[in-house]
Amino acid sequence: MLMKAENAMNEADPARVLASVDEGTPVSVKIRERIAAARKRFHANDNIADFIRPGELEALLDEVTGKMEGVLSSLVIDTENDHNTADTARRVAKMYVNEVFKGRYVHPPAITEFPNAEHLNELMIVGPITVRSACSHHFCPVIGKVWIGVMPNERTNVIGLSKYARIAEWIMNRPQIQEEAVIQLADLIQDKTQPDGLAIVMEASHFCMAWRGVKDMDSKMINSVMRGAFLKDANLRREFLSLIPRS
């Protein structure tokens, strides 16, 4: 009798049925469905903040915690009796969602732009900016430094020096491949400032080489992006590279 009454109530209120189904759907599935509906991609180094609703990041944290508990169980770690790993699943989930992969889940930092009132047109270099990321292949740390060279013009927007570091942090705080990371960083700075030239050099240690695999502690990867005047003018490019105080 109770079941019949409940069925009748559900038939009379379809919204209640949908809400009930929605409550049982993992938040990651809801986010994926929104991304699919928008025909956007969600690769490891993509930002998906536009598809996350208020309160869902906390729910995602809970979901990742549960999945990490399953990983630890499959690794045959007794988290119930091992005081060292009792809260590891939650700590790892918070590390991924709120720290090292935060750049995937939050919108870009607020960047105040100012007109180039003094018509600055000389080379400006910012760095070294310390950056921390993780490789997409093994989720091992990638730690290094970035130098940014800007050749402004009278139409170039000027942003504060600290904002370069905030932009770099937002780009790097997601699973990255270094070659793609510097391109993403260049695209964002180019869009925000519109300079005549832009140059970026990144030097980083990859723990997927140092901690595992060949276990080479000294190898580093250096790559660059040159655009506009830096690409066309060899003298400007040499000046930028010569002014980078690399060890």
Q: Are residues 53 and 157 in the same domain?
A: no
* CATH of residue 203: 3.30.1130.10
How many residues are present in the chain?
A: 247
My answer on whether 224 and 149 are in the same domain is: yes
pLDDT of 133 higher than 80 = yes
Instruction: For tokens 């309160």, name the residue.
Output: 55
In this structure, the answer to whether residues 143 and 68 fall within a common structural domain is no
My answer on whether 101 and 6 are in the same domain is yes
Give the model confidence (pLDDT) of 162-208 as tens digits. Answer: 899 999 999 999 999 999 999 999 999 999 888 999 999 999 999 99
The DSSP secondary-structure symbol of 110 reads P
Domain count, the chain: 2
Residue 125's pLDDT band, with cuts at 50, 70 and 90, is very high
Compare 117 and 230 and report the one with higher pLDDT. Answer: 230
Residues 127, 226 within the same domain = yes
Strands 124-135 and 175-176: parallel
Are 151 and 124 members of one domain?
yes
pLDDT at 112 > cutoff 80: no
- 202 and 150 together in one domain: yes
pLDDT reported for residue 22: 65
Same domain, 193 and 123: yes
| Domain final position from 39, 71, 105 | 105
Confidence of residue 21 (pLDDT cuts 50, 70, 90): very low
pTM assigned to the model: 0.84
Is there a single domain that holds both residue 129 and residue 234?
yes
Q: Which of 105, 122, 138 is the last residue of a domain?
A: 105
| Residues paired with residue 67 on neighbouring β-strands, in sequence order | none
Tokens 């790892």 -> residue: 92
User: In terms of residue numbers, what domain contains 225?
Assistant: 114-243
Q: Are residues 89 and 120 in the same domain?
A: no
Q: Does 119 lie in the same domain as 31?
A: no
Query: In whole angstroms, what is the distance from residue 41 CA to residue 73 CA?
Result: 31
For residues 119 and 154, give the distance between their C-alpha atoms in angstroms, rounded to a whole number.
4
- Residues 6 or more apart whose CB falls under 8 angstroms from that of 206 comprise 135, 140, 142, 178, 219, 220, 221
How crowded is residue 173: how many other Cβ atoms within 10 Å of its Cβ?
21
- Tell me: the pLDDT tens digits for 201-241? 999 999 998 888 888 888 899 999 999 999 999 999 999 99
Q: What pLDDT score does 115 carry?
A: 63
Same domain, 95 and 143: no
- Give the DSSP H or E segment for 32: helix 27-37
Return all residues near 160 (Cβ < 8 A) that are at least 6 apart.
Answer: 112
Final residue before a domain boundary, out of 105, 137, 172? 105
Q: Is the pLDDT higher at 194 or at 154?
A: 194
pLDDT at 15: 43
CA atoms within 13 A on the CB side of 42: 18
